[in-house]
Structure 1
Amino acid sequence: GSHGTHTRIKGDVAFINSDAPAWKHPSQDTWEDQRIVGRDGRQFGPLPKDWLHYKGLYYHEDKTVIRYTVGNTMILEKPGVFDYGSSPIFVRTFNVAPHSQSLVSRIAPDLDELAVSVRGASGVTTRRFGGFVELLIPAGASDQHFNVLIAKTDEDTLKGLEAAIPVEDLEMFTRGGEPRFDQKVIHTQGVQGNSDEPFAVDVLTVPDALANPWESWMRLGGFDFFPDNPDRAAVCTWMGDVWLVDGVAGDLKDLRWRRICSGLFQPLGLKIHEGVIYVTCRDQIARLHDFNGDQEIDYVESFNNDAQVTEHFHEFAMGLQVDQSGNFYYAKSARHAKTALVPHHGTLLRVSSDGSRTDIVANGFRAANGVCLNPDGTWIVTDQEGHWNPKNRINYVKEGGFYGNMFGYHDVKDSSDEAMEQPLCWITNGFDRSPAELLWATEPAQWGPLNGVLLNLSYGYGKIYTVPHELIQGQAQGGMCELPISQFPTGVMRGRFHPENGQLYGAGMFAWAGTQHQAGGFYRIRYTGKPAYMPIALEAIETGMRITFSDPLDKEFTENVTHYKIQTWSLKRTANYGSRHYDERELVVKSAVLSQDRRTLFLEIPEIHPTWGMEMRCELKGAAGNEPVTRVIHNSIHHLGKGLF
């Protein structure tokens, strides 16, 4: 990956169709573009569904068949190329269902060097009109099957080749064919982690680009487990693949990887819902179907393609979760350092359970890397430092909320801090360079005293954090603390607890803006039962901080105030990229008191105050006499609660 790169066509271009409707509106008899008009005057997103609706594409060996509707008319189309001399012939095979209205399509620009011919259905013709070559399909009570041939040649030559290119019944290619990937299974062996510490990290070895026959770049963007087969996971890669992985639940000695789909548009989220794989792509949520049971995808159904896509490199679609009502959620990034063009830029999006509509839940995000669904049905998303984001953010999302990015798509004119929703915490770069997705250690998690805790995954540093926090006056506030494990060699973006063994699995990748440069990775993080001394709850009150830890602490050691160092700082939110620290100062800890169960620590801090930036460095010792450990918490305080210890 590279920053600011845009794709382009290489080689000799025969012709280019315009970025405009390819089919005339069948009932309104118009070519007038009805897509969303961006703030730059260009049009983006899909056409209205009652005009043209993309349904998906079928894979059949080396053939691809596209399924879509024009009005109420179902169309199957197969693109192809017939090699003839120095000029290839572009072949579009159409199967058009019965329809009561005539249909018109612009299939090519009207260029003197282009010849076009039609073979097959009676009455289907072409004409050169208004700068285009138009395809004219009369109304018909039965299916119409025909080929359209386009080439840089003369009309007579093209006519002479029509018979050499058969008109095919495309239905035969919609039921699955022979495997495209030769049913190849790649075996890797996992690596068990050290169980002497509170958490053991096991590596689920991925078949890297040199170890698989397709040289597929294994930069993992999402994964999930199958409910009826918890020893199997599905993973997607940023490069467009989906893989099945067997052997993930046990000792990992024989991991079996099978590539089942390719060609998706930058998938960065995956969810298995009711036994079916759904994938978040930049252009759609895809639903994957294996019709013939050969463990390869035969149909990439476009479950929802409301996505408003521009060419900007930074507008990722990230994460995928499903709520109890079956609605889907993903986050859509804004444009890096540029004003948003379309309503979806910088948003959290909800797709209805039937895929028929998309709603904006909240806006004002810059690059929210995934979605966390809270037990109460609300959401948490992260965001990244940048313009109008002085540092990274952990956001408890309120429906309809605005989260600070003035470059996003919204009507907010007030750039003051009071006009935006405040984050749960502001996270400095040195603590987590780029936070990714959060998740709760709820059922089926088996993490002992950490069950029920909120966790954050780090793309930037390849770390995992607890996120102790509270809700006060309707505002979430708290912080993060790093788990005592070694950094992963790649960024970790997605996490799920295994439905059977209850351990955390994490997957991720590297592109840019991170310190861990391995292309991708897949891991299991096992809680071993040993004390971790992690902060799991955090409260700010008028007299100090109350911190609850996962395991009992030594009273004498813990109540020594010299074991604590607290700093605070301010940030400035502007149109500039990020913010330095302002008003840095140390706060004195006057006393430290441990609760009767030895798990909750009260730090008396006379000068405590609301602050965007705070660091608490704690030297701790367990009640069982373990060696001292250091736990560092970065947090924000918006409100101070009442009460004493």
Structure 2
Amino acid sequence: MFQIVKNQVRKWGVFSIVVLSLSTVLLTSNTHYLPNLANQPDSVKLADFVEPGFPYISTSVDARKIGAGFPTDNQAARTFALQLGDSAYACFDTDQLRWSVAWTGKFLPMVLMAQISYKNFFNKNNGIAKLTGEPKIATGNYAGWTIGKPFFRNGKQVVEPSWKALPADQARYNGVYVVGKQAILHYSVGNSKIYELPGSIKFDNQVAFTRKLRVENVDKELYITAAEVSNGSTGEVKGKFAYIYQGANKDSVTAIGIAGKVDWQLEINENKFVTVKLPVSAKQSLGMVVMWKGPTKSLKTFEKSIRGKPELFPDFEKGGPTAWKETITTKGKLSPDTAAFVTDQLGLPLNNPWKRNVRVADIAFFPDGRAAVVTFEGDVWTIEGIDKDLQNVKWRRFASGLHEPLSIEVVKDIIYVFDRNGIVKLHDLNKDGNADYYENFSNVMSQSAESREWAADLVAVQDGSFYIAKGGSLSNGPGMTDKAFGKGFRTGSDQNGTIMKISPDGRTSEIIATGLRGPYLGFNPNTGILTATDQQGNFVPSTPIYVIKKGDYYGVIPTAHRTDNPEIAPPLTWIPHSVDRSSLGQAWVTGNKMGPLNGSLIHFSFGTPGLFRVLIDSASKVLQGGVSYLNANYPAPTSKGAMNPLDEQMYVTGFNLWGSASVGISSVLRLRYTGKPSYMPNYFRAGNQGIIIGFDSELDKASALNAANFEVKRYNYQRTEEYGSGHFKLDGSTGEEMLPVAGSYLSADGKKILLLVPDMKEIMQMEVAYRLNAKDGKKVNDHLYFTVNSSDDMDLKKYGFGNVDLALLTAKKEEMATQPAKVEVASAEKGKEIFTKMACAGCHSPGTKTDGMYGPPFKNLYKSERIFDDGTKVIADENYLRESILAPSKRIIKGYNEEMPSFVGVLSDPDIESVILYIKSLSGKK
């Protein structure tokens, strides 16, 4: 059996491991490599995720169980956790425009995905952000501002979150100004403009929370719901103060006060809701709402502390002080021109003054060749000096505080980022190189707090609109809810697992496609073609690539979001699990300087890692496609990419976390065309007579005409609720079919090969392995993976093949029926080969490593006790190992998730026995 492309990638993985043991220099120059920073120089140790100099982090929060008297329906997906000073903090819910919770003591625990992996790079065991400090003020799951009258729960005790922003005509979050350590929130309620500066004041060893408000154009009465106290004994309003007492002796009180020369009025509703009424006024008003909970004996001091006129707002609308003045200069690492396409590495700014991690998720370019990147920790950096040599690359920190962003775009010199808050438009108001205003360009998409409902991808369209992709609400790890919605999914928002289009003004959206598990996008601005990938898992049998059409449904039942029972749209192509077990983004080569790749769609594999060239057979009745691996050095996972309009090369980003064959943590690469010959496939066509493959270079005639130089196999997947799929023959039985090559032909130009293959049928997966020589003597040994959606007759003369003996097809088909079955012998050595070939090493360590691994390590696995997530136990004998290979979702090891596909039909019985023997050898037992 031929060595597949994964093995070529493994060579680089070995190289990276060697680098780990040699030096830490690469950590400061080109690529993160190390799994922890324990042994690193002080200069590269990371500071905490939460920076004291920035006023907030973006987060979700679960405040449903914070104590007696507080609302029990208090959860929010899109919030700012504000640092207010004096160990005081508050979460502002940008969907509901409410203070969901305010507290003192400790800040939120850093347990969300980006936070928990910030220093522990491979830690996927995220948690839910819950208060560890002392709660003081909270409101439930309802609007914080209303028009005409207060509105709470409409009679319900608990309201389930809709995970949507308030209707924009009622209220809308517009953005936040960052002014030093202060955040000024900007939002609208009806036609009124509100600017809010949250803060705190201290008195008698107590801390009160302040909401300084500048209010403009109040044409209708407005109401603020300031606090909800459900265990109050009595309540009263006295002038500009409202009190709700707790305890039999009224020894505790929640007090709300109003400061400033404003005619705002306090009210208590249902003896538990404290509201502030703002009367109609055309004038701008400046007042402050002060909120406090504490011992009643300190009430008088509280009242005295807020008397007087609030200070004016800082001059924020022209931009604040420069937070990040320094420019960090790095040197890149150029690859020698050893092939047609090589990857140069840009140096990451890890030695930065803020000791900030830099895990680059995506890149975008300005027209002049400058770049902007976004990191998973929520920062945006701008880059200059991207030239031929990469020896003077200048990085400047531009923005921070974003919520697990994975996408960035530059449109008309303005940076847009898609994170869980929505699409954020970044404004540098005073042109000092730092963003001052983080505008809410669009939050019309729903967003739950489920950790896997990623704000996955964003692509810009020429008319100013955007396409976005949203992850499915997967049940991997802890979630905000335990409610299942199909196997492998929780109940998230009503738009999880969808592709949407956002209007040019950001105010409206439309659903383009549904039924996806973890989609990422590719968009060709020249043709308007939208493509997408999805993640293998429950309901997704293997990695697909789709050409997206409006109204399509892609087969994931929990994310269908429709009731019309649509047909499942077929993918352009499937990719085998062993070739790409975890796909990410796509990018089109739109320039004219990448030689053979010009006009190509490039597919990004996180798990392999690496890039694949996508071939599209547009001549068939139904679009069908295939992929071919682009051999190069990929020191870290590859996730997203973009074309640089200046040098017209493709730049590739990625960071590690979810389990990749790469051990690198992050990198920014330049995929560069050197001008040397390329030997990749550039065309494929499949039909009744067989398969046509075109190449970038002329082939040696003798090797091309030798049918023994080709191996062809095919198989189907089964789409079920289980994680991934085994392999199945056309008749539904398990296994793969090896197809003979009846004959091979070379076209007149020497660049196309016709393989006559008998019994061609529509099939989900085909593989062609080939061992050829190019005309210049270069060995061309590789694979092509593709799907046959339509098997129709091909006009062979049209493709340069005349005098083809089609009778060979019939003769070979008859020969197939009489071929004896191959006899296979099991061995531990063969098991080790399968372990590598089937990409098992990306999820299971042959040693004891667990960092970055989806599955348990194999060393000492045999005969060990296995404890499952339901508490049951078993000894890992041969029967258990066989079950784990064929039915991995039947029993899940405690501490792990269901993330392994079945190998039914993929591995033969001798293959399985070989893997078991290999695992035994790692345990030193027989």
If the TM-score is normalised by the length of the shorter chain, which range does it land in? over 0.9
Identify the match of residue 205 of structure 1 among 347, 367, 376. Answer: 347
Cα distance in 2 for partners of 1:364, 1:472 equals 27
- Letter of the 2:299 partner, please give it: E
Identify the match of residue 342 of structure 1 among 474, 493, 518. Answer: 493
How far the C-alpha of 1:86 sits from its partner, in A, is: 3.2
- Letter of the 2:627 partner, please give it: M
Cα distance in 2 for partners of 1:546, 1:261 equals 50
* 1:17 alignment partner in structure 2: 139
How far the C-alpha of 1:221 sits from its partner, in A, is: 1.9
* Residue 220 of structure 1 pairs with residue 360 of structure 2: yes
* Residue 326 of structure 1 pairs with residue 478 of structure 2: no
- Letter of the 1:31 partner, please give it: F
Secondary structure, aligned partner of 1:43: coil
CA contact (8 A) 2:191 2:219 kept: no
Tell me: CA distance 1:541–1:67, structure 2 relative to 1, closer, same or farther (3 Å): same
* Residue 492 of structure 1 pairs with residue 628 of structure 2: no
How far the C-alpha of 1:87 sits from its partner, in A, is: 2.4
Secondary structure, aligned partner of 2:300: helix
Q: Residues 158-180 of structure 1, C-alpha deviation per residue, up to 9 Å, x if partnerless?
A: 1211258x623336122212112
CA contact (8 A) 1:331 1:370 kept: yes
Secondary structure, aligned partner of 2:175: strand
CA contact (8 A) 2:461 2:525 kept: no
Cα distance in 2 for partners of 1:221, 1:474 equals 37
Cα distance in 2 for partners of 1:373, 1:343 equals 28
Secondary structure, aligned partner of 1:15: strand
How far the C-alpha of 1:219 sits from its partner, in A, is: 1.8
CA contact (8 A) 1:116 1:155 kept: no
Q: Give me the CA root mean square deviation.
A: 2.0
* 1:462 alignment partner in structure 2: 609
* Residue 510 of structure 1 pairs with residue 651 of structure 2: no
* 1:124 alignment partner in structure 2: 264
* 2:311 alignment partner in structure 1: 168
What TM-score does the superposition give when structure 1 sets the normalisation length? 0.93
* Residue 105 of structure 1 pairs with residue 256 of structure 2: no
Identify the match of residue 531 of structure 1 among 674, 677, 680. Answer: 677
Cα distance in 1 for partners of 2:317, 2:227 equals 27
How far the C-alpha of 1:32 sits from its partner, in A, is: 6.2
How far the C-alpha of 1:359 sits from its partner, in A, is: 1.0
How far the C-alpha of 1:4 sits from its partner, in A, is: 5.4
* Residue 47 of structure 1 pairs with residue 199 of structure 2: no
* 1:93 alignment partner in structure 2: 212
Cα distance in 1 for partners of 2:543, 2:126 equals 21
* 2:559 alignment partner in structure 1: 408
* Residue 386 of structure 1 pairs with residue 537 of structure 2: yes
Structure 2 residues not aligned, in runs of 5+? 1-116, 118-123, 230-243, 246-252, 475-487, 730-735, 802-926
CA contact (8 A) 2:465 2:503 kept: yes
Cα distance in 1 for partners of 2:695, 2:340 equals 14
Tell me: CA distance 1:19–1:423, structure 2 relative to 1, closer, same or farther (3 Å): same
Secondary structure, aligned partner of 2:358: coil
* Residue 145 of structure 1 pairs with residue 286 of structure 2: yes
- Letter of the 1:608 partner, please give it: M
Identify the match of residue 249 of structure 1 among 374, 387, 404. Answer: 387
Tell me: CA distance 1:41–1:90, structure 2 relative to 1, closer, same or farther (3 Å): closer
How far the C-alpha of 1:58 sits from its partner, in A, is: 0.4
Identify the match of residue 303 of structure 1 among 441, 463, 471. Answer: 441
Secondary structure, aligned partner of 2:303: helix
CA contact (8 A) 1:467 1:481 kept: yes
- Letter of the 2:192 partner, please give it: T
Tell me: CA distance 1:31–1:13, structure 2 relative to 1, closer, same or farther (3 Å): same
Alignment of 1:283-298 (within 5 A): 283-298=421-436
* Residue 8 of structure 1 pairs with residue 133 of structure 2: no
Percent of pairs identical after alignment? 29
How far the C-alpha of 1:360 sits from its partner, in A, is: 0.8
Secondary structure, aligned partner of 2:499: strand
CA contact (8 A) 2:471 2:519 kept: yes
* Residue 451 of structure 1 pairs with residue 571 of structure 2: no
Identify the match of residue 595 of structure 1 among 711, 726, 747. Answer: 747
- Letter of the 1:439 partner, please give it: A
Q: Residues 559-611 of structure 1, C-alpha deviation per residue, up to 9 Å, x if partnerless?
A: 11111111111211111111111220111111111111111111111132221
Tell me: CA distance 1:483–1:389, structure 2 relative to 1, closer, same or farther (3 Å): same
Cα distance in 2 for partners of 1:46, 1:473 equals 45
Q: Count the aligned residue pairs.
A: 627
How far the C-alpha of 1:460 sits from its partner, in A, is: 1.6
Cα distance in 2 for partners of 1:33, 1:480 equals 53
How far the C-alpha of 1:412 sits from its partner, in A, is: 4.5
Identify the match of residue 576 of structure 2 among 411, 418, 428. Answer: 428
How far the C-alpha of 1:5 sits from its partner, in A, is: 3.1
* Structure (1 or 2) with the larger CA radius of gyration: 2
Secondary structure, aligned partner of 2:561: coil
More strand by share: 1
CA contact (8 A) 2:553 2:560 kept: no
How far the C-alpha of 1:390 sits from its partner, in A, is: 0.8
Secondary structure, aligned partner of 2:415: strand
- Letter of the 2:425 partner, please give it: R
Query: Mean alpha-carbon deviation: is it higher for 389-398 or for 9-18?
Result: 9-18
Secondary structure, aligned partner of 2:183: strand
Alignment of 1:33-44 (within 5 A): 41-44=160-163
How far the C-alpha of 1:507 sits from its partner, in A, is: 0.6
How far the C-alpha of 1:473 sits from its partner, in A, is: 5.9
How far the C-alpha of 1:474 sits from its partner, in A, is: 5.8
More helix by share: 2
- Letter of the 2:507 partner, please give it: S
Identify the match of residue 277 of structure 2 among 133, 136, 141. Answer: 136
CA contact (8 A) 1:320 1:329 kept: yes
CA contact (8 A) 1:319 1:371 kept: no
Cα distance in 2 for partners of 1:413, 1:570 equals 26
Cα distance in 1 for partners of 2:378, 2:426 equals 13
- Letter of the 2:322 partner, please give it: P
* 2:690 alignment partner in structure 1: 544
Cα distance in 2 for partners of 1:204, 1:544 equals 44
CA contact (8 A) 1:247 1:255 kept: yes
How far the C-alpha of 1:339 sits from its partner, in A, is: 4.9
* 2:567 alignment partner in structure 1: 419
How far the C-alpha of 1:445 sits from its partner, in A, is: 4.0
Cα distance in 1 for partners of 2:705, 2:153 equals 70
- Letter of the 2:396 partner, please give it: R
Q: Residues 294-332 of structure 1, C-alpha deviation per residue, up to 9 Å, x if partnerless?
A: 000000010111121111000011222122222111101
How far the C-alpha of 1:378 sits from its partner, in A, is: 3.0
Alignment of 1:622-633 (within 5 A): 622-626=774-778, 628-633=779-784
Tell me: CA distance 1:434–1:541, structure 2 relative to 1, closer, same or farther (3 Å): same
* Residue 609 of structure 1 pairs with residue 757 of structure 2: no
Q: Residues 506-561 of structure 1, C-alpha deviation per residue, up to 9 Å, x if partnerless?
A: 01112213222433210101111111211121110111001111122112222111
Secondary structure, aligned partner of 1:557: helix
* 2:333 alignment partner in structure 1: 191
- Letter of the 2:334 partner, please give it: Q
Tell me: CA distance 1:116–1:300, structure 2 relative to 1, closer, same or farther (3 Å): same
Identify the match of residue 31 of structure 1 among 151, 154, 158. Answer: 151
Structure 1 residues not aligned, in runs of 5+? none
- Letter of the 2:626 partner, please give it: G
Tell me: CA distance 1:118–1:432, structure 2 relative to 1, closer, same or farther (3 Å): same
Tell me: CA distance 1:33–1:371, structure 2 relative to 1, closer, same or farther (3 Å): farther
CA contact (8 A) 2:150 2:225 kept: no
CA contact (8 A) 1:223 1:271 kept: yes
Tell me: CA distance 1:476–1:169, structure 2 relative to 1, closer, same or farther (3 Å): farther
Tell me: CA distance 1:107–1:277, structure 2 relative to 1, closer, same or farther (3 Å): same
Alignment of 1:575-590 (within 5 A): 575-583=721-729, 584-590=736-742
